[in-house]
Structure 1
Amino acid sequence: MTRKPAAPNNLRNGLKWRDGRPRWEPSPANRACGFPGVDLRDHAGAWMDRGAATTAADARTLWAGIVREAMRDTDAGGKARVHLRMALDLLPPLPAEAEGRRKRELIADLIERGRAVLEEREPGVTEALTHAPRTVNALVEAFFADRAAMSEIKASSQRAYRTCSRKIAAEFGGKRVDEITKGQLKAWHGRLSADVSVATANLTMGAFGAMLAWATLQDPPWLAATPIQRLKLPRAKGRRVFWTVEEEKGFIAWCDANGYADVADAVTACLWTGARQIDVCKATLADLSGQTWRYVPTKTERKDQVALPGILPAVSARVQRRLIEAARSHVKHIGGSAPFLWNPEGRRHTSQSIGDRFREARAWAVKAKAVPETFAGKTLQDTRDTCVTRLYAAEVTLARIGSWGGWSNPEKILREHYLSLLDEGAIEDGGKLLLWAREQGLGWAAA
């Protein structure tokens, strides 16, 4: 009985070891170019041992990388073709001994592909890429390598897409893009929702949708139409959380008294304008010095939807204090005006930095019992939710609510997320209904 070679401890360069059978498997980039996997057998047909398999895998990986780079229609590809020609010119004659010939045979297909690239130039490259396997792994790599596509996507979205791409590759990596069905996507979304959350599942599906949409626009297209369209996926539930007036007063007072005035400024502006923290961080003192603040929310700037909140005295007072502080601060002015928010070191706040400061202040305020214990679960993002509920409670019309904070559909937001929390409004409406009932002669006794 032939003894199976022991598996190496550190598999590398595409070397896979399956029950004593070594095989070279192409990386996603190499697979996209059509480079096949190869069983690693010696000249006698036996499975290679650890050393020979590693050497063979190294050789295939090296040649695959050289040829792959030479296939690119870029300046870097041109340089790679020069190196490929040199490598081909330096190849020694085919060895006479069986072992040496076998080593050459294991890379012969890559050598021939390299020669074809050099001989046919760009038409050959185009043809090779056109007929390369269009797998999801190849799609992910090509999508992120497209500079034009990336220039149209925000950096934060790109980071989110890259995180999601790991889940996408794990589920569909080796599958051809044009073989993915709506049923498979629907089932996968259900598993993701159960294992993680509906919100994460929707984010991942959105990232995959962007990649598949990109694939339909290539020439030739990877697939005719994206299967993600009209899947009717369930929506994630909103947080249904807002700040109470008691929490607002207690937290702002504590921040002002304990060196977190920048956090109090951010909270006040977010609560009373409905702006997201990223937009408040981008605002200058000049932006907030009038009676209104007109801006395009960063999150929805591609829709070009303008927000126009009024500037209430609570915000104006903090702007005036900041103007005085800016005159003797070293904070860098932007476009002739100081930013509204900067940290104690004089650096302009970002969404991340003010978020970190808020969480730090919240923890200390809760520990000091300056705010109700419920405040430990509140976030800076909840201030936008709070503003919309306050506008509704103040009987501002839905149209004006939409224009105030840049909400495209405030009625839907209120109905789905916040109206159920307005106990005071429900009690008031109940009183009106009771009064009507008594007027109708129902004669209910007072509770």
Structure 2
Amino acid sequence: MRVELKGLHKTSKKLADGTKRDYYYAWKNGPRIKAEYGTSAFYDEFRRLTKEKKSPDSNSFQSIITLYKRTDLQQRKPSTRRSYLQYIKLIEEEFGDMSIAAIEETGSRAVFLDWRSEMADRPRTADLAWSVLQKIMAFGVHTEKLKRNPCVKAGRLAETGTRREKIWLPADISKLREKASQQITDALTLALWTGQRQGDLLRLQWSSYDGMRIRLKQAKTGRHVIVLVSGELRATLERLKKLNDERKVPALTILTNSHGKTWTSDGFRTSWGKAVEAAKVSGLTFHDLRGTFITRARRAGASIEDIAEASGHSIVDVRSILETHYLAGDATAGDAVILKLEGKTS
């Protein structure tokens, strides 16, 4: 039975495969409802969001965002307000429930940089979204709701290039493994061997793993991906499965925190940011593991088409990443050409 929800806002978007997807928001320009439409979880989330609209948790970033919209934003030109609201909506969806304490902790900057990097294929959008986020943070500091602004002086993606230029080198991976917790290194291993987005990996359930392959549907694109599990990843998954089976209340998801519970996006990003900082790895984000997967796969002999199929990237994006790293960075990549020419002329 469908219940009429006052203020519910619906939009539709045509995906790359031609299908149409509907998106629901608690109100126009409000946060997106992530639960499936028509389910009890959907109605519960709608009620929670509309309740928070009236009185958001004073310990959450949403309280600062709400105050910003009611005060500072209203002093700007109507066209500026309209422009800002589309980016504020993105920020609310991603960080609205993030605690103020988590923002103030060391390592939170990496969390926000990782979010920006997920929009690197749209550098102008990423820069504008970051600019608005930075202004809200500054407002929080100005009103003494925040002790610091973790989003200052980050440069512009539109000027410096996209994340395609960034990959994790073996030394970076080794440093993180050495300093990070087992839960973080397990997530690192899963990302390195699947090339999937952080959100998709955090949601990945045991039902998606059959002992040989991982099957998932990407939340961002709706694309179905099948990845053959490598020996190293299988060893990690089997260890995690055994550990999960021994728990009184097994988790549905493959990746869990130190308490054996499904990671929240906020919790994982904070822990990841701290681990990266402790390992002294700079300029790299979780999202950059996608390009790293592509580069490693190509060096191992995989075709561009197969890499695109496994990672969920477009063939154009795979080629772009490889042109930056594989073709330019491998000193032996052109050896076969010279050897063939030498054979023909000798």
TM (norm. structure 2) is 0.55
Quote the offset at 1:285 in angstroms.
2.9
- Please tell me whether residue 417 in structure 1 is matched to residue 326 in structure 2: no
Deviation at 1:359, TM superposition (A): 1.0
Tell me which residue corresponds to 1:364.
Answer: 278
Distance 2:279 2:332 in 1: 33
SS at 2:11's partner residue? Answer: helix
Of the three residues 310, 319, 342, the one matched with 2:228 is 310
Look up the SS of the partner of 1:293 in the other structure: strand
By how many angstroms is 1:306 displaced?
0.9
1:387 to 293, 311, 330: 293
Residue 23 (structure 2) aligns with: 153
Aligned to 1:199: 125
Q: Is residue 184–residue 272 contact of structure 2 (8 Å, CA) maintained in 1?
A: yes
Instruction: Report deviation, 1:172.
Output: 7.7
Offset at residue 413 of structure 1 (A): 0.9
1:432 Cα deviation after fit:
3.1
Is 1:238 aligned to residue 162 of structure 2?
A: yes
Match of 2:198 in 1: 277
1:47-58 alignment to 2 at 5 Å?
Answer: none
Is residue 434 from structure 1 mapped to residue 296 from structure 2 by the alignment?
A: no
Q: Residue 403 in 1 paired to residue 309 in 2?
A: yes
Question: Which protein has the larger Cα radius of gyration, Structure 1 or Structure 2?
Answer: 1
- Is 1:250 aligned to residue 175 of structure 2? yes
- Structure 1 residue 271: deviation in Å? 0.8
Question: Any idea what SS the aligned residue of 1:308 has?
Answer: strand
In structure 2, list runs of 5 or more residues that go unmatched. Answer: 13-20, 33-61, 83-122, 131-157
Deviation at 1:242, TM superposition (A): 1.0
Query: In the alignment, is residue 378 of structure 1 matched against residue 284 of structure 2?
Result: yes
SS of 1:264's partner is helix
SS of match in other structure, 1:314 = helix
CA distance in 1, matches of 2:182, 2:5: 53
User: Which residue does 1:345 correspond to in 2?
Assistant: 259
Q: Does 1:264 align with 2:199?
A: no
The CA deviation at 1:249 is: 3.1
CA-to-aligned-CA distance 1:188-243 (integer Å, 9 cap, x gap): xxxxxxxxx62336879xxxxxxxxxxxxxxxxxxxxxxxxxxxxx9994211111
Secondary structure of the corresponding residue to residue 153 of structure 1: strand
Task: Give the CA deviation at 1:168.
Answer: 8.9
**Residue in structure 2 matched with residue 130 of structure 1 by the alignment:** none
Q: Residues 307 and 406 of structure 1 are in contact (CA less than 8 Å); yes or no, is this contact kept in structure 2?
A: yes
Q: Distance in 2 between matches of 1:329 and 1:320?
A: 15
Shift in Å, 1:268: 0.4
Partners of 2:288 and 2:297 in 1: how far apart?
A: 14
TM-aligned CA distance change 1:284 to 1:382, over 3 Å = same
Tell me the number of residue pairs that the alignment of Structure 1 and Structure 2 aligns: 226
Determine which structure has the larger strand proportion and give its number: 2
Q: Which amino acid aligns with 1:272?
A: W
Q: Which whole-Å deviations, capped at 9, do the CAs of 1:343-370 have from their partners, x for residues lacking one?
A: 113321133322211111112222xxxx
| Equivalent residue letter for 1:148 | K
Which deviates the most, 280-289 or 377-386? 280-289
**In structure 2, the residue corresponding to 1:307 is in which secondary structure?**
strand
CA distance in 2, matches of 1:365, 1:75: 48
8 Å Cα contact 1:272-1:312 kept in structure 2: yes
Aligned to 1:288: 209
Give % identity. 18
Change (3 A) 1:416 1:152: same
Structure 1 segments unaligned to the other structure (5+ residues): 1-73, 77-144, 174-196, 205-233, 367-374
Secondary structure of the residue aligned to 2:228 is coil
Whole-Å separation in 1 of the counterparts to 2:341 and 2:30 = 57
Instruction: Report how far residue 294 of structure 1 moved.
Output: 1.3
8 Å contact 1:279–1:297 — kept in the other structure? Answer: yes
| Alignment-mate amino acid for residue 11 of structure 2 | A
CA RMSD of aligned residues (A): 3.8
Distance 2:81 2:282 in 1: 40
CA shift digits 1:26-70 (9 cap, x unpaired): xxxxxxxxxxxxxxxxxxxxxxxxxxxxxxxxxxxxxxxxxxxxx
Task: Verify the 8 A CA contact 2:178 2:279 in the aligned structure 1.
Answer: no
Query: 2 CA distance for matches of 1:154 and 1:168?
Result: 28
Distance in structure 2 (CA, Å) of the matches to 1:402 and 1:280: 18
Q: With CA pairs under 8 Å and 6+ residues apart, which has the higher RCO, 1 or 2?
A: 2
Query: Partners of 2:249 and 2:24 in 1: how far apart?
Result: 27
CA distance in 2, matches of 1:282, 1:266: 12
Displacement of 1:437 after TM fit? 5.0
Instruction: Tell me, in whole angstroms, the C-alpha distance in 2 between the residues paired with 1:158 and 1:289.
Output: 39
TM-score, normalised to structure 1, is: 0.43
Does residue 171 of structure 1 match 2:80? yes
Counterparts of 1:345 and 1:168, CA distance in 2:
48
Q: CA deviation at 1:397?
A: 1.9
State how far apart, in whole Å, the 2-side matches of 1:383 and 1:261 are.
18
